Structure 1
Amino acid sequence: MTTDTIFALSSGALPAAIAIVRVSGPMAEQAVAVLAGSLPEPRRAAVRRLTAADGALIDEALVIHFPAPNTATGEPLVELHLHGGRAVVARCLAELAAIPGLREAEPGEFTRRAMLNGRLDLTQAEGLADLLSAETEWQRRAAVESAGGGLRRQIEAWRERLVILSARAEAAIDYVGDEDETNLDLDALVVEASALRAEWQDWLAQPPSELVHNGLAVVLAGPPNSGKSSLFNALVGSDKAIVTPIAGTTRDVLEARIDLGGIPLILQDTAGLHETEDAVEQIGVDRAQQAITSADILLWLGDPDDAPAFDSVLIVHSRSDKRGAAPDESIPTSVYVPNGTDALRAAILAEAKALLPPPDRVALNRRQRALINEAANSLTTTVNDDLVIVAECFRSALNVLDKLTGHQSTEDVLDALFGRFCLGK
């Protein structure tokens, strides 16, 4: 357990109806008792008059006392539920800072202590960080699964299998029986190790969590005056792009984040694709080509035969109210009639769901994918007739799984993660 005691405002921006100040560490109970006179019974909320060192009344607050170790941080923890005025909170924090042994928490320090004290592992902390930054329903559902320990439980299951394999390999090294029996044991180990490695490869083949967290790039492309900017504005819900009948009005990539059915999308309007001798216009065309290259979903508003070769492309028959029936496999769309973009929205949503990991299954982030790939590579050399090498492969894979859960994490990894949190978390 750490030796210092930390405090911070853990609720939202002030002013507010209620402000929650959290105090955690060895001196949490003693420090709050200095302000409140006494603490209520554990896990029982009670009103206390908080008094400053000079005898002035700070506030009448609700105090809740959580004894260690069954707390959010694994340490003694006390919450002060204050009236949410800026002056009230400022005076309370100042009084806490004046108590020897107390200091204001760093970003994410409460959650970091929870991990260090075994209340959650690194994968759950990563999930909690994603939950705090979630802006759409799909992001929330994906983060809840990780924060709730979905990946941790899967890693524990993998670890159990590896421990058994490792123990069998270690025992086989000292096996004194018939050589054929030893070979049979080795063959079985190789088969089971290959199955575990194949399972990890299946996980690595799934869409990464970054697609959910960052949002899918949906690019509108086509020739000039094909209705891209009008459609962009309709999907965004505001006049973000300039719309005129003049060809070449859009000369840069316009971008807006939208929530479509709970899925985060980054919508991009681009310059019309055409041959031009105008240097500035050519820059816009080049940027449009770059946007198309990096798109997750392409909305093509030109002739279907001219659509770029692309895995996820939707052919949009824009201005369908004036241009008549849509060609085969094109989506009729008009921004000028009621519900004229509904079919396109549904098609984009279906395409996005196909690209994203299911929200009820844990998706791996970049760090987790790198480590699971390392673990899978560790088992590559289990196809070997030397049991000592096989046993070392299992030990190496076990060490990698420990890095996944944070049992072997470097300080820079922890600093990068918990720096994403706010002060009171």
Structure 2
Amino acid sequence: MSQDTIFALSSGRPPAAISVIRVSGPNAQAAAVGMAGSLPEARTAAVRQLHHPRSGDLLDEAVILRFDSPASATGEDIVELQCHGGRAVVDAVLAALAAIDGLRPAVPGEFTRRAFENGRIDLTEAEGLADLIEAETESQRKAAIALSEGGLRKQIAEWQQCLLGLSAEAERAIEYDEADDEANPTLRRECAALGAELRSWLDRPRAERLKDGIRVVVAGPPNTGKSSLLNAIAGEERAIVTDMPGTTRDHIEVPLALDGVPILLTDTAGLRDSSDPVEAIGVARATTLVEAADVLVWLGAPGESPDHPRTLKVHPKSDLGSAVLPGSIAVSSVTGEGMPELLEQIGRTARDLLPGEDAIALNRRQARCFEEAVSALDAASVAGDVLILAEELRHARVAFDRLTGRAGVDDVLDSLFSRFCLGK
């Protein structure tokens, strides 16, 4: 597949002011010459008329950029055609490219996959690019940028150098210390120190909360104003509100961005004993959601709130004039009283659960590789035999190779690159 020359529209769908069509592969420059007559110097823009390679018909006047292998985004020869962004123009240029022997349309994510396969990026950077494309909040964008720009890759390179040094020392001991098979205490301590450093990364907040959102669950007894509160926070009628207890039978989820922090706001059924089998199912689900909540917003008697480490106690319907109990935030979904304070508290609590703006957060796949490396280093740090220590260090190196995509990741590549759009 890497010998094919591929092309695709890399900008948004037309109509637009300008559309960028990217061509990558061994025949990219020849194909562009067949349409434009000549190409500018590498990394220099020039205006050319584009003609159909067979009929000679004028298609458009476009800006052309050329990037030579290996100093290109994919590691291959690339030509970018910046055309006028009308649908007819884009369709005509794509049809002309398809008419050239040896060219074919790209599949989603193929440009980025070629960059990975040609060593322009590693797997962690590719994951960062996928996250950047999908980012919907400012915090998601910043985390994706840190990953896609190689923040984790650079740190991994330092750890790999350290591992290679430890492995070299272990191999030297095997080769020359024939009279003593016992592992060097200094070498074991260095393995333990590296394992502790990796473990500190595992203790950081994970990327899943950043991508999926902090789950904020609104819970309490029936008819306490949970659905009204969700509607007020969401700014629209997402949940049905009546005076009848038990109206909410199943949970309702509303994804929001609160000051750039991704939130998954969840309304639940009122917690009570019920003989209604449908309501009882809703109550059971609500109980499960409360246990899984990152932040619990409790509407009910403060002393009856579930035991949860991050509970915000709310005194609802404050416009009705009832006394506010200490430790509760008085809120009215009707007048808006207390809403700014509640949202500020939710945002502050949620932000504490997310990685810092400059910190790199591990996803599940990366964390599993870290865990494998830590396990191997822990075993190396207590190994009595230098042969066992050397073998555990090899296991740690293999875990890092899986982390960067250099080995054992065929099962994740198709899934990852399918997340990309057609021209990326």
For structure 1, which segment, 153-162 or 315-324, has the greater mean C-alpha deviation from structure 2 after superposition?
Answer: 315-324
Aligned residue for 1:379, secondary structure, equals helix
Is the 1:332–1:343 contact (alpha carbons within 8 Å) kept by the matching residues of 2? no
- What's the counterpart of residue 67 of structure 1? 68
Counterpart for residue 131 of structure 2: 130
Which moves more between the two structures, 3-12 or 321-330? 321-330
Matches of residues 10-409 of structure 1 in structure 2 within 5 Å?
10-52=10-52, 53-176=54-177, 186-324=184-322, 326-338=324-336, 340-382=338-380, 383-409=382-408
Q: Report if aligned partners of 1:8, 1:93 keep a CA contact under 8 Å in 2.
A: yes
CA drift of 1:177 comes to 8.4
Amino acid at match of 2:412: V
Deviation (angstroms), 1:215: 0.9
| Contact 1:255 1:268 (C-alpha < 8 Å) held by counterparts | yes
Query: Aligned-pair distance for 1:2?
Result: 2.6
Q: Deviation at 1:162?
A: 0.8
d(CA) in 1 for partners of 2:170, 2:324: 65
Aligned residues: 422
Cross-structure match for 1:418? 417
Moved more, 111-120 or 168-177: 168-177
- Compute the displacement of 1:324 (Å): 4.8
- Please identify, of 33-42 and 209-218, the stretch whose mean Cα deviation from structure 2 is larger: 33-42
In the TM superposition, what is the alpha-carbon distance from 1:147 to its structure 2 partner?
0.6
Could you tell me whether the CA contact under 8 Å between 2:50 and 2:60 is conserved in 1? yes
| Preserved contact between residue 48 and residue 62 of structure 1 (Cα < 8 Å) | yes
- Structure 2 CA distance, aligned partners of 1:260 and 1:377? 38
How far has the Cα of 1:32 moved from its partner?
A: 1.1
How many angstroms does 1:312 deviate by? 1.7
State how far apart, in whole Å, the 2-side matches of 1:145 and 1:329 are.
39
Native 8 Å contact 2:329 2:338 kept in 1 = no
Q: Is the 8 A contact 2:227 2:267 kept in 1?
A: yes
2-structure distance, mates of 1:142, 1:122? 16
CA distance in 1, matches of 2:217, 2:409: 39
SS, match of residue 170 in structure 1: helix
**Residue 49 of structure 1: SS of its match in structure 2?**
strand
Contact 1:7 1:104 in 2 (8 A): yes
**CA displacement at 1:58 relative to structure 2:** 1.3
Residues 325 and 359 from structure 1, CA distance in 2 versus in 1: closer, same or farther, beyond 3 angstroms?
A: farther
Cα pair 2:205 2:354 within 8 Å, conserved: yes
- Structure 2, unaligned stretches of length 5 or more? none
Deviating more after overlay: 241-250 vs 136-145 = 241-250
Contact 1:48 1:61 in 2 (8 A): yes
User: Quick one: distance in 1 between partners of 2:355 and 2:376?
Assistant: 26
1:342/1:24 Cα in 2 relative to 1: closer, same or farther (>3 Å)? same
Deviation string, structure 1 residues 212-253 (Cα, Å, up to 9, x no partner):
111111111111221111110111111111222222222221
Deviations 1:176-226 (A, max 9, x none): 5885xx86x710000110111112222112222111111111111111221
RMSD: 1.7
Equivalent AA in structure 2 for residue 369 of structure 1: A
SS of residue paired to 1:369: helix
**Distance of 2:13 and 2:297 partners within structure 1:** 39
Tell me the distance in 1 between the aligned counterparts of 2:93 and 2:143: 37
Q: Measure the CA separation in 2 of the matches of 1:394 and 1:224.
A: 57
CA distance in structure 2 between the aligned counterparts of 1:192 and 1:406, rounded to whole angstroms: 26
Taking the aligned partners of 1:176 and 1:151, their CA distance within structure 2 comes to 37
In structure 2, distance between residues paired with 1:339 and 1:35 = 65
3-state DSSP class of the match of 1:19? strand
- CA distance, structure 2, for counterparts of residue 166 and residue 105 of structure 1: 42
Distance in 1 (CA, whole Å) between partners of 2:132 and 2:19 is: 21
SS of 2:176 mapped into structure 1: coil
* Contact kept in structure 2, 1:325 and 1:332, CA below 8 Å: no
CA distance 1:278–1:214, shift in 2 (3 Å)? same
Change (3 A) 1:37 1:286: same
Shift of 1:171: 0.9
In 1, the alpha carbon distance for the partners of 2:42 and 2:136 equals 35
In structure 2, distance between residues paired with 1:378 and 1:282: 47
Structure 1 gap ranges (5+): none
Which 10-residue stretch deviates more, 57-66 or 289-298?
Answer: 289-298
Q: Which amino acid aligns with 2:74?
A: T
User: CA offsets per residue over residues 19-39 of structure 1, 9 Å max, x none?
Assistant: 111000111111111111111
Q: 2:155 aligns to what SS in structure 1?
A: helix
Distance 1:381 1:107 in 2: 42
Regions of 4+ moved over 4 Å: 176-179
Following the alignment from structure 2 to structure 1, what is the Cα–Cα distance between the partners of residues 316 and 334? 10
